[in-house]
Structure 1
Amino acid sequence: MQIQDLMSDIRRNAIKRMDKKSPAELSASWSSEDLLHSGIGNAIFIILPTPGCAHALSESGGCTMCSYIADSPLENVSSSQLIDIFKNLMEKHEIKPKTVVKIFVSGSFLNEKELPKEARDEILKILNKEENIEEIVVESRPEFVTEEIIKNCCDLLPDKIFEISIGLESSSDYIKEYKINKGFLNEDFKRAINIIKNLKSNYKITSKAYLFVKPILTSEKEAIEDAVASAKYAEKIGVDRISFCPATIHKGTLMEILWRRGSYQPPWIWSILEIIKKVRSEVKIPVIMDTSGFGTRRGPFNCKKCNKKFKNLIIESNLKQTIPEEFKCECKDKWIADVEFSNITRSTTALKN
Structure 2
Amino acid sequence: MQIKKLTREIRNKSLKKVKKRSPEELSTSWYQEDLLYQGRGPTLFMILPTGGCSWALSESGGCTMCSYINDSHVENVPARDIIPLFHEIMDKHTLEEPTAVKIFTSGSFLNPDEMPVEARREILQTLGEIENVAEVVVESRPEYVNREIIKECCSYLPDKIFEISMGLESASDHTREYKINKGFSKKDFEQAVEIIKDLKSEYKVRSKAYILVKPILTSEKQGIQEAIDSAIYAEKAGIDRISFCPATIHKGTLIEELWRKGSYQPPWIWSTIKIINQVREKVNIPAIMDTSGFGSRRGPYNCKKCNSKLKQMIIDSNLDQIPVKELECDCKNQWQVESSFCDIGRSTTRIRY
- TM-score, with normalisation over the residues of structure 2? 0.96
Alignment correspondent of 2:60: 60
Confirm or deny that 1:82 pairs with 2:87.
no
Match of 2:169 in 1: 169
Distance in 2 of aligned mates of 1:251 and 1:120: 30
Q: What SS does structure 2 have at the residue aligned with 1:199?
A: helix
Contact 1:291 1:314 in 2 (8 A): yes
Contact 1:42 / 1:96 at 8 angstroms: preserved in 2? no
In 1, the alpha carbon distance for the partners of 2:46 and 2:29 equals 5
Listed as ranges, the matches of 1:198-347 within 5 Å are: 198-342=198-342
Q: Find the aligned partners of 1:24 and 1:254 in 2 and give their Cα distance.
A: 29
The answer to whether the 8 A contact 2:218-2:344 is kept is no
Percent pairwise identity: 62
Structure 2 regions of 5+ residues with no counterpart? Answer: 347-353
Shift of 1:129: 1.1
Secondary structure (helix, strand or coil) at the match of 1:30 reads strand
Number of residue equivalences: 346
1:84 Cα offset (Å): 0.5
Give 3-state SS (helix, strand or coil) of 1:31's partner: strand
Deviation at 1:2, TM superposition (A): 1.9
Compute the displacement of 1:235 (Å): 0.3
RMSD: 1.3
- How far is 1:38 from its partner? 1.1
Equivalent pair of 1:286/1:321 in contact (CA under 8 Å): yes
TM-score of the superposed pair, with normalisation by structure 1: 0.96
Which position in structure 2 is the counterpart of 1:350? none
8 Å contact from structure 2 (residues 65, 253) kept in 1: yes
SS at match of 1:342: coil
Distance across 2 between alignment mates of 1:342 and 1:236: 27
Query: SS state of the match for residue 201, structure 2?
Result: coil
- Kept in 2: contact 1:21–1:74 (CA 8 A): no
SS of corresponding position for 1:340: coil
Q: C-alpha distance in 1, partners of 2:188/2:282?
A: 25
Paired with 1:344 and 1:209, the residues of 2 have a C-alpha distance of 26
Aligned residue identity for 1:172: S
CA contact (8 A) 1:47 1:103 kept: yes
Distance 1:344 1:71, change over 3 A: closer
- The offset of 1:174, in angstroms, is 0.3
**Partner AA of 1:292 in structure 2:** S
CA distance in 2, matches of 1:190, 1:241: 15
Cα distance, 1:345 vs structure 2: 7.7
Q: Structure 1: give runs of 5+ residues left out of the alignment.
A: 347-353
Please state whether the residue corresponding to 2:255 is helix, strand or coil.
Answer: helix
